[in-house]
Amino acid sequence: MFKVRHYTTNDKAEVIHLIRETIQAVNIADYSDKQVEAWSNIDRNNWDRSLVENNALVAIGENEQIVGFSDMSPTGYLDRLFVHKDFQRKGIAKLLVKKLETISSSKKFHTYASKTAVPFFQAIGYRVTKENEVLLRSQYFINYKMEK
């Protein structure tokens, strides 16, 4: 149903739009309006630089629409994982993470999961090792370091 391919710079605008919409529609359940506004204000100028060394994948749905995005460093750090707000709970996140874990040279994986994402990561074998507070664009967020 969904296929996965490597992210290209031509995907940038669509992926950033997907991430913004997902944060604003899905993560709003667990974070304040100000936090969601800060989180979804993605720095387009630093975007490409943030992906230079990571494996980055997109999930493609019907009509060649990007329905998911994720990236992982060579050390097994899962940086971002977002699924389009209209395609939640269809196995896309799991598909992306499993593919990244498969192509990674690391055998240990870790991420900083949002409150929203913790149940998903637990379901695929990650465990919470630490609650974390992070400052992003003048807003403090609680997230969770998770390892597998």
DSSP one-letter code for 99: H
In the block, which residue shows the tokens 């709970």? 89
Ramachandran quadrant class, 76 (left: phi over 0; alpha: psi -120 to 50; beta: rest): left
Is 40 inside a domain boundary? yes
Quick: pLDDT tens for 74-131: 999 999 999 999 999 999 999 999 999 999 999 999 999 999 999 999 999 999 999 9
Contact 91, 99 (CB under 8 A): no
Residue 29: which CATH number? Answer: 3.40.630.30
Is 39 inside a domain boundary? yes
Is 126 inside a domain boundary? no
Is 145 inside a domain boundary? no
- Reported pTM: 0.94
3-state secondary structure at position 127: strand
The range of the structural domain enclosing residue 60 comes to 3-106
